[in-house]
Chains A and B, each alone.
Chain A
Amino acid sequence: MITLRRAFRNILRNRFRTLLVGVVLALCVAVFVSVLAGVDASEAATAEMLEEYGEAAEATLEQTEQSMTQIMVMSGRGPFSGDSDEPMDEDIVAEVSAMDDVAAVVHVVSQGFGEPESAAEFHIEGEPGGGPGGPGGPSVSFRGADYMVYGVPLDPDLDEEYHVLPVSIVEGRTLEEGEDSAVLISSELTEYFGAGVGDTIDIDGTSFEVVGVYTSTMMPNQVYMSLDAAQDLLDMEGELSSLMVYADSVSAVDDVAAELESAYPDYMVMAMADMQSGFGDFIQREQEYIISTIDSNLASIQSLGIGTIAATGVISVLLIFGLMFYTVRERTKEIGTLKALGFSNSDVMKQFMYEGSYIGLIGGAVGLGIAALAASAFASLILDPGGTLGTSVSVSITLFTMLLGLGVAVVAGALGSLYPSWRASRVSPMEALRRE
């Protein structure tokens, strides 16, 4: 106990020097703790992101497989290209539903909105089987359209079977049967409209409440609403823009498509299977690419974090080493006197180890205080200085991280003072008689 007390008083003998070392040590500890917390936060955010993405990708894949039985029938009204200028009549639904090998018909009213509206077109680009970012690879875009109003029947059974509405709802909820003044928008469109769940948006003079936000790689800028609401909005009562006809099986697609082409020669009939062969692979490759990018980003953060943590540890140890080495040299005569008074080598070594550890403890405690105030700033500055890693880091310091930071500071103090303390224990008691 006495040695502890004396060691504490000894570090206050040269307050300026102790303060200087303490401040640098505190900064090291602050960086250490902040970066550790930052890495933890990044790992948690990444795990969450991967989980969300995994769910979305899985749903997309499921939709893709189902869409292989899908045949689109498009008229001239709306953003789809067809030979006929006439919109489809709603009666077509019953006609097509009665055809052989037709499992279901989803009727749609749609139109692009944006500047200039006249140039709004829906395009499917690329060749089947292509990959992301390279030549080929299907993608969906609306040239000239900022967003697409997409009116669909709000039938829970139909939706459950054929995913008429998006499945990856990231905020709020999906549309419910009978809801004519509610919309479901994509996450990209929240920025466009400046609105989120609970807000109201205006489309062509009509207000709609946003009840949900979805993500989708295939349909990134749709505004989903009930079929009735879309027909009112687009002045298409009793009319349709397109049909999504689902064949009983993939093998029946060709027959159903042929029958539709024969029955409706003015409409464009397009089997999605022709477009999407390989799209499943594309989705999987895209998923793997995105996951590997996320993992790679996280690995970069972790490497940077580990490097920073190691550097602060080394700096702390060296700092204490320098201070204690100088202190032992300065107090050689005092150490000799202690030996002459009957203090053993281990007594002397203990005293100086305590002194170094105390400095580590004090620096660590102050460092924790700094980290508590500036952890987010430190973490972002070190782990993502240019904002290029795309990781949003919200840092909070856990009790474990604080204790770890403090423990490391004390250990650094002990490690740094190990050799100087050993040197002190080797000082001859004859030094006490040295004339100055």
Chain B
Amino acid sequence: MARPILKTIGLSKRYETDGNSVQALSNVNLEIDRGDFVAIMGPSGSGKTTLLTLLGCLDKPTKGRVLLGAKGIDVTAMPEGSLYSIRRRHLGFIFQSFNLMPNLSAVENIELPMEGLIRSTKRRRKRARVLLRMMEIPHREKHKPAQLSAGEQQRVAIARALANGPALILADEPTGNLDWETSLSIVNMLARLATEQKRTIVMVTHDPQMAVYANKKLFIRDGKLRDEDPVYFEALRQAGRHLPDEPADAEPPQAD
């Protein structure tokens, strides 16, 4: 049996701010296999983003370990100065606000993570163009982010996340700033990356309808991981949201 591509053991994070202490994450144990599309759901303040930052080596846990890759590299034991290399080579990020560099064109944004890894300008450009075609926006190569729609910007961000062929892609509310139809197309794209290219994707979302595309769903409440969260679903139902376990929504929603 293949080793998981990502594993956490007893992962905990406590924040100390102005004399106040907040236990953001408590004893999180999870395993993610290659090709999984994992959706992590939970209400605001539940610890979703904290978990994502720890999985993405953006922060260090207070306790516990994060083991990355088939070899199980303990990234929590690595010094701060070495983590940037892990992020560049093995991880890809997709942000809610896209976080593209405003003065670079679409293709230049995609090339950004390749700096330092691919020396040849031509090779970087060629790879970036392939990714743009994959995202179905090759005609937007020279456009700056301000000239792209929200959906196009997120596609460029996804292409950027794929630039170095990472083992793991982490997406923080990737549809948070998108309309319904565009959100569907983006999540659909992520799902295809997981199934067709065996990319491992961990997506944080508060929208269960986007989470339908994931093959694994995890819930966080008060910093603790659980397989289901009826309280959360009840709250959403009362807010008038249609949820995936309703008979009418048994299949993933389709765009009109």
Which residues of chain A have a CB within 8 Å of any CB of chain B?
2-3, 6, 9-10, 12-13, 333-334, 337-345, 347, 428-430, 432-433, 435-436
Contacts and interface: CB of A to CB of B under 8 A. Distances in A.
B101 A344 contact: no
B58 A13 contact: no
A337 B84 contact: no
For the complex of A and B, the 9 pairs showing the least CB-CB separation, nearest first, are A342-B88, A337-B99, A342-B87, A429-B58, A344-B84, A341-B113, A340-B93, A430-B58, A13-B103
A12 to B, nearest CB: 8
Majority secondary structure of chain A interface residues (helix, strand, loop or mixed): helix
Interface in B81-104: 81, 84-85, 87-89, 91, 93, 95-97, 99, 101-104
A202 to B, nearest CB: 77
A28 to B, nearest CB: 27
Nearest to B112: A341
B93 A432 contact: yes
B87 A341 contact: yes
A334 B52 contact: no
22 contacts: A2-B115, A3-B115, A333-B97, A333-B99, A337-B99, A338-B112, A339-B58, A340-B56, A340-B58, A341-B88, A341-B112, A342-B85, A342-B87, A343-B84, A344-B81, A344-B84, A347-B84, A430-B53, A432-B58, A433-B52, A433-B172, A435-B97
Name which of A10, A12, A338, A432 has the most chain B CB atoms within 10 A of its CB: A432
B102 to A, nearest CB: 7
A342 B89 contact: yes
Contacts of A333: 97, 99
Contacts of B33: none
A6 B116 CA distance: 14
Contacts of A342: 84-85, 87-89, 91, 113, 116, 164
A341 B93 contact: yes
B49 interface: yes
Nearest to B92: A341
A404 B91 CA distance: 46
A166 B95 CA distance: 91
Contacts of A433: 49, 52-53, 58, 95, 172
Contacts of B93: 337, 340-341, 432
